[in-house]
Amino acid sequence: MNCRHCNTPLKHVFLNLGLAPHSNAYLGNIEAEIPEPKYPLKLFVCDKCWLVQTEDYSARDELFTDEYAYFSSVSSSWLKHSSDYSNMIIDRLNLNNQSFVLEVASNDGYLLQYFQKANIPCLGVEPTESTAQAAELLGIRVKREFFGSDYAKQLIKEEQLADLIIGNNVYAHVPDINDFTKGLKTALKPEGTITLEFPHLLNLINLKQFDTVYHEHYSYLSLYTVSQIFNSVGLRVYNVEKLTTHGGSLRVFGCHMESSIPTDDSVLKLLEEEKEFGLQSLDVYLNFQKEADKITNDLIKFLREQKTAGKSIGAYGAAAKGNTLLNYGKINADLISFVCDAAPSKQGKYLPGSHIPILPPSAMTDKKPDWIIILPWNLEKEIIQQQSHVKDWGGNFVIPIPELKIV
């Protein structure tokens, strides 16, 4: 296998999590009774451009199906993040009713609804039918397509060039990152702006967030690598912000290489920080496997000890990252009896691989578990606040990453 960006042969394994099912492939009753397809979940690091990437196994149309169950609007903290972003960028770019905003992977309209309320013309490009329908119920225009350079050429014949192109948590999800980036350039006005948000590879390594690895994430990104990919198609990163979302993300601001927009000092500053951390040398990558193994083994030990002591264990958040952790540790319903999740699209189904049943949040009060494992640790505060009543029966929360913590 060669690097998806620079075509260099890949020979360094960053992380090997064995065989795993697709992390968002939640199961119905019948499906849970038959063996699931599982695929190698292995990451390589390119020693030329430093792109961390999955081994090629899963096609995008197998991952992003019409029954795709991830709806962004379920998280109240994510909605606030989206509202704050829209207010900031509308003001920063002076967007108005003559502007045009394009969001790639617009999901259920969680973000474009705020542009629509501000009377700014907008369009979503979203391949999954379930989320596209939800966005249309909000009155948002949606094109059901996978975005890339060919579709961008078609799109600009039907629509105007975009003043702003948004891609939140999609850049890591595209198998052909070069072609996707060419599409961004094609659809952008000469003085337009692109903003992309994605989890920062530095945080993944530093905070041991190995559970953010799953088949839907083809790439794991640093500013250094993103800058190289942008430059290769004639784009330039002109600003970067650190975000707290998804365990620590970056928001990069991009423009055409020849744009009059100046490059902010934040770009050089973060590039230096990444270099000092070691993101452009092999040592930091080749030592990561042992961190994932320790976290997994510590959780398994804790669960077995509590089961032996007669304690009941549930979980909260049927998140893809949780499925990575559970499947790598071969943890199933024998150790964790159930998981609660606020998304109606997941309730009544089973987690892939572990086959743990997914129940509505109200079931937590019925079950009254002694321990609740918070699988989406990035939503720790939100979940603990929403489920504060578990303390009424002496229940406690457990956060498994970056190290086992009882709350």
pTM of the model: 0.89
Do both 136 and 250 map to the same domain? yes
Do both 124 and 267 map to the same domain? yes
Percent of the chain scoring above 90 in pLDDT? 86
- Spatial CB neighbours of 60, under 8 Å, sequence gap ≥ 6: 127, 146, 173, 174, 175
- 247 pairs with which residues across the strands? none
Does the pLDDT value for residue 72 go beyond 80? Answer: no
Which CATH number covers residue 161?
A: 3.40.50.150
Residue 52 lies in a domain: no
According to the model, what pLDDT value does residue 86 have? Answer: 97
- Tell me the mean pLDDT in the region 142-157: 96
Spell out a b/e string for 51-89, using b for 16 or more CB atoms within 10 Å of the CB, else e: bbbbbeebebeebbbeebbbbbbbbeebbebbeebbeeb
- H-assigned helices in 21-148: 60-63, 76-93, 112-117, 129-136
Residue 29 lies in a domain: no
Do both 261 and 346 map to the same domain? no
Q: Which two tokens stand for residue 149?
A: 């350079």
Residue 340 lies in a domain: yes
Q: 286, 320, 338 — which closes off a domain? A: 286
According to the model, what pLDDT value does residue 55 have? Answer: 86
Which CATH number covers residue 318?
A: 3.40.50.720
What does each C-alpha distance from 307 to 154, 193, 293 come to in angstroms? 57, 53, 21
Q: Which residue range(s) make up the domain with 377?
A: 300-406
Do both 265 and 382 map to the same domain? no
Residue 40 lies in a domain: no
- H-assigned helices in 36-98: 60-63, 76-93
Does the pLDDT value for residue 308 go beyond 50? Answer: yes
Q: Is 103 exposed, middle or buried (0-12, 13-18, 19+ CB in 10 A)?
A: buried
pLDDT interval class at 62 (50, 70, 90): low
Q: What is the pLDDT of residues 255-277, one digit of tens each?
A: 999 999 999 999 999 999 999 99
Q: 238, 262, 286 — which closes off a domain? A: 286
- Average pLDDT score over the chain: 94
Do both 139 and 103 map to the same domain? yes
What total of structural domains would you count in the chain? 2
**57 or 262: which carries more pLDDT confidence?**
262
Percent of the chain scoring above 70 in pLDDT? 96
pLDDT interval class at 68 (50, 70, 90): very low
Do both 185 and 209 map to the same domain? yes
Do both 261 and 334 map to the same domain? no
According to the model, what pLDDT value does residue 57 have? Answer: 62
Do both 304 and 275 map to the same domain? no
Does the pLDDT value for residue 158 go beyond 50? Answer: yes
Residue 65 lies in a domain: no
Q: What is the pLDDT of residues 373-404, one digit of tens each?
A: 999 998 999 999 999 999 999 999 999 999 99
Q: Which two tokens stand for residue 383?
A: 């979940």
> What is the rounded distance in angstroms from the CA atom of residue 361 to the CA atom of residue 342?
6
